[in-house]
Amino acid sequence: MSKDTTSEGVTFNDVFMFFIAVPLVLLWVGFAGFVIHTGLGNSEVLDNIEAYTTLIAILGGPALLIIKDALDVWKQEQAEKTAFYKVKAQAVIDYNDAAQKQAQMIEANDQAHDQTMDKNVATIAKKK
């Protein structure tokens, strides 16, 4: 079987997920963790915790909506790729099955031909 030379293309959503969405989520979670960690040891942060919580909510609300939509599109692309690979794998299985059946048919025809030839040779030898 020949080697498949086509490659999967990198889509805009792949780039968006790995260069924008993932760092945004990590930054968001990191900032929230920083506020919690700093708040445990610093009473000034606890005094202003409402401001920090509001900032996290302001940053997180729109970011969460954008990320959710991007994740939905990315999941759909991944599902399409998976479906494509299932179809491709079934095509390879069908091709191999047909090739095996053809090889078996050729071998059976060769054996039938050899038997017919042997029978004809034996018939001719008996007549002489």
The answer on pLDDT for 3 being more than 70 is no
Residue 5: the pLDDT is 44
What tokens appear for 61 in the block?
């609300």
**CA distances in angstroms from 93 to 8, 32, 39, listed in the order given:** 21, 51, 60
pLDDT by residue (tens digit) across 6-50? 456 788 877 877 887 778 778 878 888 888 888 778 888 778 888
- Average confidence (pLDDT) over 84-99: 94
Enter the pTM of the model: 0.45
Domain boundaries, the chain: 12-127
